[in-house]
């Protein structure tokens, strides 16, 4: 008998192995996007939500503690809660990609450590905050997804250790096992970790679409404007939550 099909397996029927992976059913949808409208196969798509975690988004988190206004990051919560249930209902995997470093920081190069502690005085990755938490460290409160976002048991969680989520992580292997080649991007900061991950995805051959409004930043406004321009110009496309919801199958 033919076994159940999963994207990362070879079906076997009466001892014959089928390398064609014919069990997939395409789900093409038309999506309004810039600089051009798109047709996207939902069956080969996933959404990557970057760094929507306490240290970047929450009052009392690391950025808030060093004087950064985190309210622009929290502005992405409502758009994400609008689109994620509809994407799940359409069978699109939701991947939460968060900083979650080793407590000993041994996998981090000097340049990454320096970015977050430029004067060497402490307060960077792995250092304690005022509440005793370790900054951007796996298992910590600061690495957890910020309150207000709805997370499903079927969602996928990946720890990252650089601006880009593709370095030194299983993200690429997970996407290939899922049979995914089109990626939707959201989260924070749009001009930093979202863009770095999207850029590496594009250079690896993935189709990339950034969701405006669900991608936010605590950087100045011109940084977001430049990011949107460069995504459209060099790396892929942008769309909006409203356009995505309009394109998705209605329940």
Catalytically active residues are: 51, 160, 193
What are the tokens at 96? Answer: 């939460």
What are the tokens at 176? Answer: 């290939």
CA distance 149 to 157: 14
b/e 212-248 (16+ beta carbons within 10 angstroms → b): bbbbbbbbeeebbeebbeebbeebbbbbbbebbeebb
What are the tokens at 233? Answer: 């110009």
CA distance 237 to 123: 36
Q: Which residues lie closer than 8 Å to 164 by C-beta, 6 or more apart?
A: 193, 196, 197, 199, 200
DSSP string, 23-64: T----EEEE--BSS-EEEEGGGEEEEEE--BHHHHSTTSHHH
Contact 38, 22 (CB under 8 A): no
């Amino acid at each position: 008998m033919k076994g159940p099909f999963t994207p990362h397996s070879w079906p076997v029927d009466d001892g014959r192995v089928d390398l064609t992976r014919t069990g997939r059913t395409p789900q093409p949808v038309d999506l309004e996007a810039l600089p051009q409208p798109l047709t996207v196969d939902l069956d080969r798509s996933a959404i990557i939500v970057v760094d929507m975690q306490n240290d970047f988004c929450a009052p009392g988190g690391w950025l808030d503690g060093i004087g950064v206004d985190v309210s622009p990051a929290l502005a992405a919560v409502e758009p994400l809660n609008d689109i994620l249930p509809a994407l799940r209902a359409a069978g699109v995997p939701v991947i939460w990609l968060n900083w979650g470093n080793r407590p000993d920081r041994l996998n981090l190069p000097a340049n990454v450590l320096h970015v977050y502690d430029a004067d060497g005085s402490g307060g960077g990755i792995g250092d304690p905050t005022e509440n005793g938490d370790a900054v951007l460290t796996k298992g910590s409160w600061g690495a957890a997804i910020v309150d207000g976002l709805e997370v499903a048991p079927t969602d996928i969680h990946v720890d990252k250790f650089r601006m880009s989520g593709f370095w030194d992580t299983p993200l690429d292997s997970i996407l290939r096992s899922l049979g995914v080649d089109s990626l939707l991007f959201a989260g924070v900061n749009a001009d930093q970790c979202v863009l770095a991950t999207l850029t590496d995805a594009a250079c690896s051959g993935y189709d990339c679409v950034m969701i405006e409004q669900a991608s936010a930043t605590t950087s100045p406004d011109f940084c977001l404007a430049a990011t949107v321009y460069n995504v459209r110009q060099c790396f892929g496309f942008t769309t909006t939550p409203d356009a995505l919801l309009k394109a998705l199958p209605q329940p």
